[in-house]
Each structure stands twice: as C-alpha cells, then as structure tokens.
C-alpha cells in the first residue's frame, strides 16, 4: 500500500487551497515593517560619529578606571609594606630608654669587687642581647661623633668652640640616635663645633 493511499483525499485538497490563499494574500499585501525608516547618508554619517564619540568616551572611562585601580593597588601595597616595616616604631621608642639606662648603669659600675664584676658581666651580656635584637629588627644606632651635623638625624644640644675640629661637626654625643628601617626613631643628641670668634 502506497503513501498516497494513506492520506485522505479531503486533506490534500484542503492543503492545496490553503497554499493558494497564502500566495494570493502575499501578492495583494507586499511586505512592509511598521515604523521602517529609510536613512539618508547624512543621517548615517551623523549616527556613526555619535557612536564613535560614545565608544571613545567609554574607552577613556575604562582606561581611567584601570589606572585608578592600579594606583589604588600600589598605594595599598605600599601601606601594607610600611605597616610591616614600621610596626615596631612605638615599641622601639619605648624600649630605647630602658636600653640607655642599662648602658648608663654599666658605665657607673666601677670597682674591683666580685659583686661589681658579676654585675658588669650580666649587664654586658644583656646589652649584647639588646643589640642582637635591634639588628634582627633593623633598628640601627646613630653615633655621629666626628661627622658633619645632620639636622634630619641629629639634635644639637649646644654649640661649642673646639680646637682642631671642623665647624659644624659633631664633637660629643650625649645620647645615640636610632633608625628603624631607615625611618628615624630618635635623633642623636649632640654637641656641635662652631667656628672660633674673631677677637
């Protein structure tokens, strides 16, 4: 039994009629879209320029945003590095007077008795431990004796005429200064040589 025999004749006729009606409708009603507009070359050029301008503005904004994000990243990175490098600033400032007192105590311990010798040995070992600790955390002493006066790292306690000393050089150090990772913790307190006054 063939395929043609399976489809009822009435359905075939109905399909043919429907197709004919569709073709007739298409001929009577040519295809037009609602709101379709024929653009002139000038309008297209203007629209192209506007689109280019918007694209340029968007690109400029994207580049600026990327630059700002990069600057923010660098600033944050530097802040973090500084926080790590200088976290001990307050602790270092607080511990320096303790270290100074220990050094002064050792200098004041004079005599040859056994007790004084033991005290000096103990103090000397403690000072060495302090110095090792300072070195571990990049706390460096400033001892500028004989060097030119540096206002950024030295605090002049007084000016003094000293023979055989260059003017504006440090001739005495009352108290050492210290820096932490290159940043000043405490200035060195010094006496500075001045030029001799003419009679």
For residue range 59-102, list pLDDT tens digits in order.
999 999 999 999 999 999 988 888 877 888 888 899 999 999 99
State the Cα–Cα distance between residues 92 and 95, nearest whole angstrom: 5
State the Cα–Cα distance between residues 70 and 83, nearest whole angstrom: 20
Decide if 174 contacts 157 (C-beta within 8 A). Answer: yes
pLDDT of residue 34: 47
State the Cα–Cα distance between residues 74 and 66, nearest whole angstrom: 12
Per-residue pLDDT band at 32 (split at 50, 70, 90): very low
DSSP 8-state code for residue 169: B
pTM for the full predicted model: 0.60
Interval 143-168 mean pLDDT: 90
Structure tokens at 15: 């399909």
Residue whose structure tokens are 């009822």:
8
Q: Are strands 177-180 and 183-186 parallel, antiparallel or unpaired?
A: antiparallel
Position 114 pLDDT exceeds 50: yes
pLDDT of residue 1: 45
Interval 32-43 mean pLDDT: 71
pLDDT of residue 87: 85
Position 181 pLDDT exceeds 50: yes
């Amino acid at each position: 039994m063939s395929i043609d025999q399976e489809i009822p004749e009435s359905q075939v006729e109905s399909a043919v009629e429907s197709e004919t009606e569709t073709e007739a409708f298409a001929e009577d009603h040519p295809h037009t879209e609602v709101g379709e507009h024929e653009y002139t070359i000038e309008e297209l050029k203007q629209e192209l320029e506007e689109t280019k301008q918007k694209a340029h503005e968007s690109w400029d904004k994207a580049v600026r945003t990327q630059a700002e994000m990069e600057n923010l990243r660098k600033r944050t990175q530097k802040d973090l590095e500084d926080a790590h490098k200088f976290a001990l600033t307050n602790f270092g400032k607080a511990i320096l007077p303790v270290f100074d007192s220990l050094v002064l105590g050792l200098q004041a311990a004079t005599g040859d008795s056994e007790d004084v010798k033991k005290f000096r040995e103990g103090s000397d070992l403690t000072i060495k431990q302090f110095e090792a600790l300072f070195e571990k955390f990049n706390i460096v002493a400033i001892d500028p004796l004989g060097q030119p006066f540096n206002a950024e790292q030295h605090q002049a306690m007084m000016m003094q005429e000293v023979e055989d000393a260059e003017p504006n050089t440090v001739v005495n150090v009352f108290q050492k200064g210290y820096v932490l990772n290159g940043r000043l913790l405490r200035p060195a307190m010094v006496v500075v040589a001045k030029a001799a006054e003419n009679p």
